[in-house]
Structure 1
């Protein structure tokens, strides 16, 4: 307990899944949390849950595709709690019916994802940094993705936007490190969020499990615990890094699982 005691944290996309788990864990460890989400009712419900456990939290509306909405979220956080020490840029999205291969993708979807997944990180950071400088430093955490490191048959725009998050994280860390502002990212693999559970059949989950080094899938808390670590002073000498939290899914020769099956025959 108390790993981020009295730090002020803004979590975007915090009404569900990874963002919700991160907000709950930050509050459990002593942070004052602003939960910002397009689903404002979900954000307020999450904040109420934290308060019922003795923590401090507020839920607000956020449209991460709108510059002014992001600016207002930062402004609200500082007005509510006096400063901002931790910014978790977590919002991300894709549309698998539109985000296809490079020939067939919807170009409007490309623009939407670059704005929502990448520009929102830039803007949140841009508006938070002046306050963090006044506070004597801070920690910025971005949600990247393993899609930013490895390609797929679809999700071209999503992967490109998340690769952008990875390199933008390094630029922020380089440019503002002397101000005691750290910037790191987390790249989740398959995480069993409610959305993943609702949209993936057991057969699809089995395919993913086949290629994991570990014999289980990730849970939202696996990302949340990483976020708490990066928000805390325990990680004070870590910056510009993207921590891959993916159960070893990508560490081996991609043919090894099939080769092991072959050897068993």
Structure 2
């Protein structure tokens, strides 16, 4: 990608899965990567693998639902690499007990919104002032195809992920003239470690048969989209939510 060499980026939720693949791809493109994860050992391990391969990365503990933790990872980027060019907010989860509108408890709803909406808001509050001060940068958020697909068996997660779309458009509209680009990515069914643990082989094969593609998603598919949006090649993309899903949802 054009213009990634020497940039500094944060990948929140980068210890494994989509986040780890994204951190590796960015490092291959010459980005200095700060990896944050609630499981610090995952973040440190992924950063060590990147460093061993010749890249530049550090791993830190990140509780994305806390403002002080979000501020700390931005400070870590500035302390280690001296600047910040983009923040990839990739946190997700909290789906256990998320059933339907009549059977989802208030506790499950609150947890889902904390992980899937509040964390992205707090990431924005932590990173945006730094990006504005340096003259611009990119906020890249991970949403989900679940946000717009319509699912009778889940309610809190799609609601919370939909909130990211409003955040994307707000940041793009409000701060675009200050050099800020904000975009979101909605992955389809991506076979990460966490997803694979919960899917039967029958479910995988049924999903593949319904998909107008030859395979299901890989973390690297999303990593490529993030790299583009962070790069100079993506400079004129702003306020968009991209569906990277192999064609499972087809939208204008």
Q: TM-score, normalised by structure 1?
A: 0.92
Query: Structure 1, unaligned stretches of length 5 or more?
Result: 253-265
CA contact (8 A) 1:191 1:219 kept: yes
Whichever of the two has the greater Rg, that structure is 1
Offset from partner CA, 1:104-136 (integer Å, 9 cap, x none): 101111111111111111111111111111221
When the two chains are superposed, the root-mean-square deviation of aligned CA atoms in Å is 1.3
Following TM superposition, by how much is the alpha carbon of 1:197 offset from its aligned partner in structure 2, in angstroms? 1.8
Following TM superposition, by how much is the alpha carbon of 1:81 offset from its aligned partner in structure 2, in angstroms? 1.2
1:218-237 alignment runs, 5 A limit: 218-237=217-236
Q: Which residue of 2 aligns with 1:173?
A: 172
- Runs of 4+ more than 2 Å apart: none
CA contact (8 A) 2:94 2:115 kept: no
Following TM superposition, by how much is the alpha carbon of 1:142 offset from its aligned partner in structure 2, in angstroms? 0.1
Is 1:5 matched up with 2:5? yes
SS at match of 2:94: coil
Question: Aligned equivalents of 2:129 and 2:139: distance in 1?
Answer: 13
Q: Which residue of 2 aligns with 1:251?
A: 250
Following TM superposition, by how much is the alpha carbon of 1:251 offset from its aligned partner in structure 2, in angstroms? 2.7
Question: Aligned equivalents of 1:119 and 1:157: distance in 2?
Answer: 13
* Higher RCO, 1 vs 2 (CA within 8 Å, ≥6 residues apart): 2
1:23-38 alignment runs, 5 A limit: 23-38=23-38
Query: Structure 2, unaligned stretches of length 5 or more?
Result: none
1:200-239 alignment runs, 5 A limit: 200-239=199-238
Following TM superposition, by how much is the alpha carbon of 1:8 offset from its aligned partner in structure 2, in angstroms? 0.6
Q: Which residue of 2 aligns with 1:157?
A: 156
- How many equivalent residue pairs? 251
Question: Aligned equivalents of 2:153 and 2:81: distance in 1?
Answer: 42
Following TM superposition, by how much is the alpha carbon of 1:153 offset from its aligned partner in structure 2, in angstroms? 1.7
Following TM superposition, by how much is the alpha carbon of 1:240 offset from its aligned partner in structure 2, in angstroms? 0.5
Question: Aligned equivalents of 2:3 and 2:203: distance in 1?
Answer: 37
Larger mean Cα displacement after TM superposition, 10-19 or 73-82: 73-82
Q: Which residue of 2 aligns with 1:255?
A: none
Following TM superposition, by how much is the alpha carbon of 1:3 offset from its aligned partner in structure 2, in angstroms? 4.4
